[in-house]
A and B are shown apart, each in its own frame.
Chain A
Amino acid sequence: MKNLPLLFTGIFFCLAFSFSGLILSSLIQYGHLEPVTEFVNHPDSGEQIPGAFVEIGGHWVEGVNQPDEQTFPIPSVGLAQQGKQIYIEMGCLYCHSQQVRRKGFGADFERGWGERQTVPRDYILQERVLLGTSRTGPDLMSIGMRQPSAEWHNLHLFNPQITSPGSIMPPFRFLYRTQKIGDTPSPDALKIPDEFPDDQPPPGYEIVPTDRGKALVAYMLSLKLNYELPESRFSQ
C-alpha cells in the first residue's frame, strides 16, 4: 500500500460513513422533534379529541399546539433547572440513569421506575441529556413520583444510610449547613432519627439545606414521568 491519496480517501470515508449514518441521519430523522399537545381540534366542530395524531374522516390530523394548552414533555424551570446543574457538576450521572426501557426488556417496569418506556421526545427540552450508562444506583426518571417528599431527599442526600441502609452512595453533607436555631426552628431543618447520633447537630443548632441543596432536591422532585406521549402510552 503505497498510494497516499487512496489511503487517505479510505481513512476519510470510513469515518464519514458512520458519521453520516449515525449522526447526520439522526439529526435529520429526529433532530427537530417538537413538544406535542394531548388534543386535536376537530376541523369541523372544534371539539377536542384526545391524542396528538387522530384519524378524522380517513385523514390523519396532527394537533396544533395552542399557546394556552399544556404541551408535553413539561419543561423543567427555575429552581429545578438550577438543581440540574448541581446534578451535572457532582457527576450523579455516573451511578444513576434517566431512561426507562420497554416492558419485557430488563425489569425497569417491574421495579416501578416508570409506567412507560421513555422515547426521544421526552428529552427534547433538555439542554444536556443525562441518559447515563450505569445503575450503581436506581434509575431517576420518575424519582419525583416515587419519593415525593423533600424531607426524604434531604435526609437521603445528607446521609444515605438514614433512608437507605447499606447504600454505597456518598453523603453530600456539604450541601447542608449547621446553623444556630433562631426565634423559631427553620421549617426545612432536617429531622435526623435518634439512631444516627453522629449526625445530630449540637444542642441549639439545626441542619438546613444550602441553596444548592434546595435546588438539587427541587430537581429530584421535578423528575416525573406522569404524562403520556402519542408514541408512548402508559403500561407499554
Chain B
Amino acid sequence: MSPLLSFFTSIDPRPKTGVPLKVQLSEIDREMRVPVVLFVTSAILWLQVGTIFAMIASIKLHNPEFLQGFEWLTFGRARSAHLNAMAFGWGNNAIFAVALWIMARLSKVSVKHGGILVVAGAFWNIGVTAGIVGILTGGLTSVEWLEMPPQVAPLLGISYVLVAVWGVIMFRFRAMGHVYVSQWYILGALFWFPWLYIIAQTLILWVPARGTVQAITNWWFGHNVLGLWLTPMGLGAIYYFLPKVLGRPIHSYYLSVLGFWSLALFYNWAGVHHLIGGPIPVWLVSAGIVGSIMMVIPVVVTAINHHMTAAGNWRAVWCSPTLRFIVFGGMSYTLASLAGSAMALRDVNVITHFTQFTIGHAHHGVYAFFTMTMFGGIYFMMPRILNREWPSAALIRTHFWCAAIGITIMMVALHVGGWIQGEMMIALDADGNPKYAFLEIVAMLVPWLFSRSVSGMLLAIGHLAFLVNFFWMLAGRRSAKSQEGPTLLLKENEEEVR
C-alpha cells in the first residue's frame, strides 16, 4: 500500500460496527480531548486578554488622559486589539472546540491524527498573537474586522484550513442516516468563512479595489463574519444543546430547514446597510436593506422553533448551567437580529448610524448571543471531555449573573446613549442650523460611556470566575462529583431535572 493511501485509510474515522452508541460517544470524547482542551484553554485566555483591552479602550473614551503616554495603547489600537482578541482569539478557538466536537458527535466519527489539529491550533494562536502585537506596534490596517497586518493572513489561513478540513472529513465519513440541522450550520460556516476572508484580504489589502468598492467588500466581509461565521456556529450549538439537555427532540424539522436556508440566502446581503447614505451606488444600499429586512424570516422561524422546544421546561433551563447560558443567547439572537433589521431602515439608520448605538448592537450580537451560547456549550462539553464535573456551582452562578447583568447594562447604556447621540446629531433649529454643537453631544455621551465601563467591570469579574473554575477543573483530580452527577445551579431539584 502506498504511503499516501495508507494515510487516507488511517484517517477513516468511522467507528467499528456493533459498538453501542454510548461507548462510541465516549470514545469520540476521549479522542477529541487533547485538541478540545487546547482550544478551550486558548479561548479562555484570549477572553481575558480581550477583556483587558476592552477595559482600556472603554475607560479611554470617557477619560482620554488614561494611559495616554503609551503610544501602543492609544484608543484606535486598544479597541482593535480588543476586537481581534475577542473575534479571532476567543471566538474562533471556542468555535473550533465546540463546533468540531458537535460535528464529531453528530457524525459519530472519531478523530484520527488529532495531533494535526493540535499543531494547527498552536499556529492559529501564534498567528493571532502576532496579529495583535502587529496592531499595537503600528501594523494596524484600519480596515474594520480585518485589522491585523496582512502578513499574518497566510499563517491564519493555513491553520484555519488544517482545522476546518477535519470538520469536512468528519461530515464526509459520517454515520449514514439523518443529517441534523447543527451539521448544516457548521458545514456551511466552515466553507463560508475562508471565502469571505480571502476575498476581503485580496480586494482590500493585497490588490486594493478601486475606491469605495473596498468599502462594500469590507462590509460584505465584516457583517458576514457575524452572519455566516459566528451566527451559524452559535445557532448550530443552540440546536444541539437545547434538545440534548432537555431530552426532547427539536420542535419542527421544517422550521429548521426554512431557518437555515433563509439565513444562508439573506444574511450575506445585509452588510451594505453600514454604508447607507455613503458614497456607493444607491441600488446596492437598497439591496442591502432588502437583505436586512428579509432576515426577519430566519430569525422569527428559529425563535419559534427554539421557544417551542424549551417551552414547559423552564425549570430545567434554570437548573442547567448550559441551558441558562444557551437560552439567554438564543433570546438575545432574536432581539439583536430584529433590532438589526430595524437599523437598516433609512429612517432609523439616519439616527443610529455613526453612533454608539451601532457599537451596542455589535455587542448584542457577538456577546449576548454568540459568546453566551459558547459559554453554555463549554459548560456542557468539558465534563464529557475530561470526565470531571465543574468544581464550583457558585462560580458558574457568578459567571452567569455578572455576564447577564453586565451585558444588559451595556445594552441599555449604548443603545439609549447612542440613540440620544444620533437624535442630537441631526437635530436642526428653526433656522436650519444644527441645534447642538458637537462638543455638547460629546458631553452628553460621557456618562453613558462611563456606565459602559461599569458594565465591563462586571463582565471582567464573570470572565475571571470562568477562568478560575476552568483551571480548577483542569488541575483537579477526578472528582467524586462525576459519580454523584452533574454540577447544577439549583441542587434541591436534581431528580426532577434529570
Contact = CB atoms under 8 A, between A and B. Distances in A.
B65 interface: yes
A174 B74 CA distance: 10
Contacts of B284: 22, 26
B220 A23 contact: yes
A124 B213 CA distance: 9
Interface in B326-361: 346, 350, 353-356, 358-359
Interface residues of A, number: 72
Among the interface residues B203, B204, B280, B445, which one has the most CB atoms of the partner chain A within 10 A? B280
Nearest to B438: A138
A138 to B, nearest CB: 5
Interface string A126-166: 11111101111010000000000000000000001000111
B226 to A, nearest CB: 14
Interface residues of B, number: 89
Contacts of A87: 142
Interface stretch (A50-58, A61-69, A106-114): A106-114
A44 to B, nearest CB: 34
A174 B184 CA distance: 51
The secondary structure that dominates the A interface is loop
Contacts of A31: 209-210, 213
A124 B210 contact: yes
A97 B276 CA distance: 13
Interface string B272-283: 101101111100
Nearest to B222: A133
Nearest to B214: A129
Given A91-B77, A171-B64, A106 B216 contact: no
Interface stretch (B6-14, B186-194, B240-248, B392-400): B186-194
A230 interface: no
A139 to B, nearest CB: 9
Nearest to B270: A18
A181 to B, nearest CB: 24
A134 B357 CA distance: 10
Contacts of B269: 18, 21-22
A19 interface: yes
Contacts of A18: 220, 268-269, 291
9 contacts: A11-B188, A14-B268, A18-B268, A90-B74, A92-B142, A105-B346, A124-B210, A166-B443, A168-B446
